[in-house]
């Protein structure tokens, strides 16, 4: 029977091994020129998206129905969201009518 120390070592090795937990990919959406770029992004469940605000004005990433709300993303600010479910998510900027984006979750 393996000793407790060996079990712990084995558990640590599994936890630290790359790929032991399937980490999602990282994606980026740039906010620039009062637009989300790209406007449509395809991702998988578990992936993360970071919005980077390169505009001189604040923005939000919002889908009220799906309770997605970044809060104010100031100029040069960022906001990260991890996708948990399949299906398209349409979002807007609460401050600027006409600013729309879509997260297509495969």
Please give the Cα distance from 9 to 11 (Å, whole number): 5
Which of 19, 56, 65, 84 binds another protein (CB under 8 A)? It is 56
- The answer to whether 95 contacts another protein (rule: CB under 8 A) is yes
Structure tokens at 67: 């309770």
48-53 vs 36-37, strand pairing mode = unpaired
* Count of residues near another protein by CB under 8 A: 15
**Integer CA distances (angstroms), 8 to 2, 3, 15, 18, 19, in order:** 10, 9, 10, 18, 19
- The answer to whether 57 contacts another protein (rule: CB under 8 A) is yes
Please give the Cα distance from 20 to 13 (Å, whole number): 9
Which residues ranging from 20 to 49 are in contact with another protein (CB under 8 A)?
Answer: 33-35
**Which is closer to another protein, CB of 35 or CB of 46?**
35
- The answer to whether 2 contacts another protein (rule: CB under 8 A) is no
Residues that bind another protein (CB under 8 A): 33-35, 54-58, 74-75, 95-99
């Amino acid at each position: 029977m393996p000793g407790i120390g060996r079990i712990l070592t084995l558990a640590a090795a599994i936890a630290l091994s790359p790929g032991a937990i399937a980490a999602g990919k990282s994606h980026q959406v740039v906010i620039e020129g009062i637009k989300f770029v790209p406007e449509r992004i395809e991702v998988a469940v578990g992936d993360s998206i970071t919005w980077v605000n390169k505009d001189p004005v604040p923005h939000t990433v919002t889908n009220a129905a799906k309770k997605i709300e970044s809060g104010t993303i100031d100029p040069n600010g960022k906001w990260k969201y991890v996708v948990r479910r399949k299906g398209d998510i349409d979002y807007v900027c609460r401050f600027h009518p006409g600013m729309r984006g879509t997260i297509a979750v495969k």
